[in-house]
Amino acid sequence: PPERLAKAVPDMQTLSIEAFLDVWDNEIP
């Protein structure tokens, strides 16, 4: 959901791109 991505955007500054993409992939059914 967009809310989850909005929350993840600030976290990208701490998390690696790979970790962010892994979470994003889990958000997609």
What is the extent of the structural domain holding 11? 1-29
State how far the Cα of 29 lies from the Cα of 10, in Å rounded to an integer: 23
Residue 2 CB contacts under 8 Å (≥ 6 apart), including other chains: none
Is the Cβ–Cβ distance between 24 and 8 less than 8 Å? yes
- Position 20 scores a pLDDT of 76
At 4, list the tokens: 């989850």
Domain count, the chain: 1
pLDDT band for position 27 (50/70/90)?
confident
Give the mean pLDDT of 1-24: 71
- Position 10 scores a pLDDT of 66
Does the pLDDT of residue 15 top 70, yes or no?
A: no
pLDDT band for position 26 (50/70/90)?
confident
- Position 1 scores a pLDDT of 62
For the purposes of burial, counting CB atoms within 10 Å of the CB of 20, is it exposed (0-12), middle (13-18) or buried (19 or more)?
middle
